[in-house]
Chain A
């Protein structure tokens, strides 16, 4: 299992399109992906759950990945956050 705090860096926060990108990426892996915010842990492959976080820019989330491809999944998801979901700012 891999756990690490990650920050929502893009200006718009974890809005709908960013959330969809996260789901699309997480779905490519078999590992279980979850995000924890304010003591609430949600399924990182469930769009409604990810949207329910409503995380603005600067939010710190705990990313947990567990499964056969956890290394690759974790690296890819962390990169997506660091890349600001492909957004310019």
Chain B
């Protein structure tokens, strides 16, 4: 199992919000979370990259979870932002989503983000784990759960 490297996750990049009007607004809110902890990450660029990736295929992975992600030139290690919506959000034609696990990864492919995604997906296979995350009402709770697994 991988250990959570310093700075991959930060409580300031975790939010509990009401479902936005559309996917673009959702990605805008995620982009701002990344910008909050690193002002070299420009929200407009993040938004564009997330939307571009999403055009290639939806990142919903079922059971109310989605993993939007994008490559960024300006980072050298993966960074994560999470959102738990207060209600279900129609993420694509087939999937309603409540929990969002959003990953920005460096342009140069390495296996760090595959490991992060794989660890997260492994735990998401457990109904108990999903229930716990979906029930979180405080960013710090999400932080603690993810810290214990990643």
Contact = CB atoms under 8 A, between A and B. Distances in A.
Nearest to B123: A52
A15 interface: yes
A49 B117 CA distance: 11
Interface residues of A, number: 19
A51 interface: yes
Interface of B: 56-59, 61-63, 65, 67, 69, 109, 111, 113-115, 117-119, 121-122, 124-125
13 contacts: A12-B109, A13-B111, A13-B114, A15-B114, A16-B59, A16-B117, A20-B57, A21-B57, A47-B62, A48-B125, A51-B117, A52-B121, A54-B118
Contacts of A52: 118, 121-122, 125
A17 B63 contact: no
A81 B79 CA distance: 29
A17 B125 contact: no
Contacts of A13: 109, 111, 114
Nearest to A55: B114
B67 A16 contact: yes
Contacts of A14: 114
- List of 9 A-B pairs having minimum Cβ-Cβ separation, nearest first: A54-B118, A51-B121, A52-B122, A52-B121, A56-B111, A54-B114, A48-B121, A47-B61, A48-B124
Given A20-B58, A54-B111, 19 more contacts: A12-B109, A13-B109, A13-B111, A14-B114, A15-B117, A17-B57, A48-B61, A48-B65, A48-B124, A49-B121, A51-B61, A51-B67, A51-B118, A52-B125, A53-B118, A54-B114, A54-B118, A54-B121, A55-B114
A24 B131 CA distance: 26
A11 interface: yes
A51 to B, nearest CB: 4
A17 B62 CA distance: 14
